[in-house]
Amino acid sequence: MKQKALALSIISFVCLGLLSGCSKKATEEEAKAETPAAVVTVTKAERQDIEETVTAQGTFQSAQGAATKLAPQTAGRLVRVLVKEGDQVTAGQILATLDTRVLAAQTRSAEAGYRASTATASQAQLAARAAASDQQSSVRVAQLAIDAALVERDGAIQAAKTSLNLAKTDLAKTLAGARPQEILQAQDALRQAEATRTRAAKEVERQTFLQEKGVSAKRQVEDAQTALAVAEASVESASQTLELLRAGARQEDREAGQLRVRQAEEVLSQARKTGEAKLTQAQAQLRQAQKQTLAVAAKVQEAKAAQSGAGKAAADVEAARTQSDYATLRAPLSGVVVRRLLNPGDMADPAGTVLEIANSRQLDILATLPADDALRVHAGQRAHLSSGEMARVINIGSVDPQTNLVTLRLQTGSSKSVRAGAFILVKVVIRVASQAIVVPRECVLNHEGKSVVFVASGEVAKMTPVTTGVETDTAVEIRSGLAAGARVITLGQYELSDGAKIKVEAP
């Protein structure tokens, strides 16, 4: 009885609890239903390229080869300085001059010495050419005689050799007789002729038989007999040809061939003796003409010595003129005079600067980066400038052990609107994530140490954990957790919780 009462008490208590829970849940849903929807704006997560960058501070400096310090190559007093600071100059323009009176006198003296040396060299060359011309004529005549003797000797010897070779070839053919191949060909021809005769004889028998039976005409029998006669003649001719080839050459033919060979050998020997005699005579004439070479060589050496003297005098003139040219300072490049350090009357020397010139349109950017960031930078990478222009990395320096910084040199497309020394913010692009899912930076929140975004799903905000990648000032790459095209909340997300009611408002 007591157990039954206890069971009824427990059931009553559970029923009261269930009724209380249902009442509380209904109260929460009513309260939630009464909470007004948060007004938000959304945007779609889109696929696009996003760049990872490193930032560096830089200054504009003259590009390599775009600035110069102008100094004379020889010491002297300045007579004129034709430009002042701020003047525009062009390459080759005269900017300043030194006193050139001493240099001009030295130039005139060198020119006079050059003219005298040139006259002496001309006379020596004429004498050498006259002697050389006479000697060359004698040598040329003797050489022509040698050439004629060589041509005549070689022609006669070659003709004799040709005749001897022909005679030897004819004799060899005569002595050798018919070749085995020729005999085999003759045997084959005889066998073919005999076979043809056999076929012709059978054809005569066949046609005769047919005529006797009244099937063939007499004309066909006669044609067969004619073919047999022709075949027998061919057999006879092939047989005689074979016999002639087997018999070989006659004795008188052999003797005649040997006689022709001996005659050709005698002609060859005589051609050699006669040619050598004429060649020896022509060579003696050439040696006689060549004995005059020493006299000609002496005159040629005199002419060369005189020419060398003239060359030295010419070099002296060139040196004097070059020294005079050094007294005129010309702009090596186009640009602006940024400094003028000396004035007319001052002494100038190679160790001191007279003018400084820079091309303000050719400026590079020198920027510094921490060594760790510089490891990710290499020549050729693009960079964004805070001025809105683009630049390109052209050189990466070494690490400064004092500051642990690396200096980059970047080249810009145009520098018309800035001056050397101006500061600029540089963002070097070290990586590009192609066609990544990208959302505005303000969409990504930190929730309990994790990155999340709120996605508008109908009239409810869903908190979605994401993995981020490349980040810029305005956008973030979403590597996982979000699909392209998702409606991400961009305004009002800070007051939201997962499952909160929202009202999407047009941006």
CA distance 214 to 221: 12
pLDDT band at 507 (very low <50, low <70, confident <90, very high): low
For residue 360, pLDDT over 60 is answered with: yes
pLDDT band at 416 (very low <50, low <70, confident <90, very high): low
Contacts of residue 72, defined as CB under 8 A and 6 or more positions apart, other chains included, come to: 98, 326, 327, 329, 348, 349, 350, 354
pLDDT band at 425 (very low <50, low <70, confident <90, very high): very high
C-alpha of 245 from chain center: 71
**Model pLDDT for residues 24-76, shown as the tens digit of each residue:** 444 445 544 556 888 889 999 999 998 888 889 998 888 877 788 888 888 88
Contacts of residue 147, defined as CB under 8 A and 6 or more positions apart, other chains included, come to: none
C-alpha of 479 from chain center: 42
pLDDT band at 421 (very low <50, low <70, confident <90, very high): confident
What integer pLDDT is reported at residue 177 of this predicted model? 57
Q: Output the pTM of the full model.
A: 0.45
Q: How many residues does the chain have?
A: 507
For residue 22, pLDDT over 50 is answered with: no
Strand pairing report for 328-330 and 94-98: antiparallel
**Model pLDDT for residues 333-345, shown as the tens digit of each residue:** 888 888 898 899 8
**Model pLDDT for residues 162-215, shown as the tens digit of each residue:** 887 887 777 666 666 556 777 788 778 888 888 888 888 888 888 888 888 777
Mean pLDDT of the chain: 81
CA distance 467 to 461: 19
What integer pLDDT is reported at residue 5 of this predicted model? 44
What integer pLDDT is reported at residue 24 of this predicted model? 46
- Helices and strands in the chain, H and E counts: 7, 22
At 390, which helix (H) or strand (E)? strand 390-400
For residue 468, pLDDT over 80 is answered with: yes
Contacts of residue 495, defined as CB under 8 A and 6 or more positions apart, other chains included, come to: 38
What mean pLDDT comes out for the span 215-225? 79
pLDDT band at 143 (very low <50, low <70, confident <90, very high): confident
* b (16+ CB within 10 A) / e for 276-307: eebbeebeebbeebeebeeebeebbebbeebb
First to last CA, the chain: 73
**Model pLDDT for residues 295-349, shown as the tens digit of each residue:** 778 778 877 887 887 788 788 777 777 777 777 888 888 888 888 988 998 888 8
